[in-house]
Structure 1
Amino acid sequence: MSKKYFLVGFAILFAVKAYTQRERVENLPTFDDRKIHYGFYLGLNQNDFKLNLRNSSIQNANITVSPSTGFNVGLIADLRLHKNLNLRLEPGLMTNSKNIYFNHLTTERDSVREVSSTFLHVPVILKFSTDRYKNIRPYLLAGVSYNYNFTSNESNQEDNSQGQFRMKTHNFMYEVGIGIDIYLYFFKFSPSIRGIFAINNEIKYDNDPNSQWTAPVNYMGTRGVFLNLAFE
């Protein structure tokens, strides 16, 4: 799922190396002295579901997920705690879609559910940076996030028996990642790659406790890869 994101990441790192070999002037020399600064980000995401099945009345249950690439955009508020540590709030919108295949069912109407989601994604992140070297500064990211799923259909009275797959509206994640700050003449450019992992079970179970769609599911939680390009 994440191979292409890591290939893009390696391409960015090679570009950074070429840039630093060419560039000797230190740009934005006092940028990191600011107590608070702001920015925005654009990016791509690819979200999957981690699935754990359980024993149920459904024999030979087999469920798989096929993700697609989505888009994310948001704002950044950065608070400097220490010369190598920053606290960041990064609220934004995230869209993606997934197909869930219930391979133990025979008809196409029953065996496929398309889950298209739009989230309010609100991460609180700690950013651990190395000391600056010329115009670059690598960093690590770790934090937690809250997701509000606008398209969860949690309150919908219809369930999979009427063709409606439901998710929970309020969800929580943890995030880890790596990136690099690149100090340009007018602004700081910061590409990063991060993984996100759901903490809570996101599935909304069907009304029927023996539902062929949800009865076999013990846990369903988002896991994904983000490629973010931040401008600060």
Structure 2
Amino acid sequence: MKQLVVFLFFCLSSIIYGQSEKISQLQSFDNKPIRYGFYLGLHTKGYALEATDAVLSNGAGFHLGVLADLKVSDFLSFLTEPGIISSSNSLTFDGEKTEVPATYFHFPLNIKLSTRRLNNVRGFIIGGASYNYNFTANKNNNDNGANPRDFELKQHTLMGELGIGASFYFPYFKFSPSIRGVYGFQNEFIGLGSTAKNSLSELRTRGIFLTLTFQ
């Protein structure tokens, strides 16, 4: 909810800024065939679960990385944003809480559709898929199944994302906030211990990401 309020504030600001600003900034910036930058942001991330005796609490986290934006036309580009996603969730089963940290190397390939530029503001829609490597997949595997609560998460997963945003052109850089929904295509849960297997069968990533991009 907080991320949505912040993004709506950015949308309102873009309308006001776009109508009032008359001096066009970075006029030739979008003409470059490849544009580079970096991003950072906050997110709330959890899992869609199928369970007989388990409860999940969504956690907050951060993400950051670099980007390359390949121009195809005035309104279409291909975007890759390799980076790190880190967050933690609490999973309760068998009456006991377990922390489920997740730190991913995130490698997305996205399509970006942009609107026509109005003064120094330009809206866009972004969507695509990503490969993700989980560095903490074995965090809760202590005894390779000998402990009834042992489980793992898959190391290699695919996720999809879809979002909207706006670009603001300033004298020396372009600032692009966006909000995105992220969802995992695969079940990431691997039950090893008897209690873990009986309590939970599926975990699929779900998240809302607020991303601030600088180019």
TM-score, length of structure 2 as denominator length: 0.93
Secondary structure, in 3 states, of the residue corresponding to 2:98? Answer: strand
Distance of 2:214 and 2:203 partners within structure 1: 34
Aligned-pair identity in percent equals 37
Structure 2 match to 1:58: none
State the 1:132 CA deviation. Answer: 1.0
Distance of 1:130 and 1:148 partners within structure 2: 33
Matched, 1:112 2:97: yes
Structure 1 match to 2:214: 231
Structure 2 match to 1:183: 169
State the 1:164 CA deviation. Answer: 4.1
Structure 2 match to 1:87: 78
Distance of 2:101 and 2:203 partners within structure 1: 15
Structure 2 match to 1:56: none
State the 1:160 CA deviation. Answer: 7.8
Q: Which of 121, 139, 154 is the matching residue for 1:136?
A: 121
Matched, 1:213 2:186: no
Q: Which of 34, 41, 44 is the matching residue for 2:42?
A: 44
Distance of 2:11 and 2:53 partners within structure 1: 40
CA contact (8 A) 1:115 1:165 kept: no
CA contact (8 A) 1:125 1:142 kept: yes
Matched, 1:69 2:52: no
CA RMSD of aligned residues (A): 1.8
Give CA deviations for 1:3-25 in whole Å, capped at 9, x if unaligned: 11111101111222232233111
State the 1:216 CA deviation. Answer: 4.4
Secondary structure, in 3 states, of the residue corresponding to 2:144? Answer: coil
State how many pairs are aligned.
214
Q: In structure 1, list runs of 5 or more residues that go unmatched.
A: 54-60
Distance of 2:48 and 2:146 partners within structure 1: 20
CA contact (8 A) 2:150 2:191 kept: no
Letter matched to residue 82 of structure 1: S
CA contact (8 A) 1:113 1:165 kept: no
Secondary structure, in 3 states, of the residue corresponding to 1:82? Answer: coil
Give CA deviations for 1:47-95 in whole Å, capped at 9, x if unaligned: 1100124xxxxxxx23221122101110000100111111011000111
Letter matched to residue 196 of structure 2: W
CA contact (8 A) 2:150 2:196 kept: no
Letter matched to residue 51 of structure 1: L
Matched, 1:168 2:154: yes
User: Which structure carries more strand by proportion?
Assistant: 2
Give CA deviations for 1:30-58 in whole Å, capped at 9, x if unaligned: 111111010000100111100124xxxxx
CA contact (8 A) 1:126 1:141 kept: yes
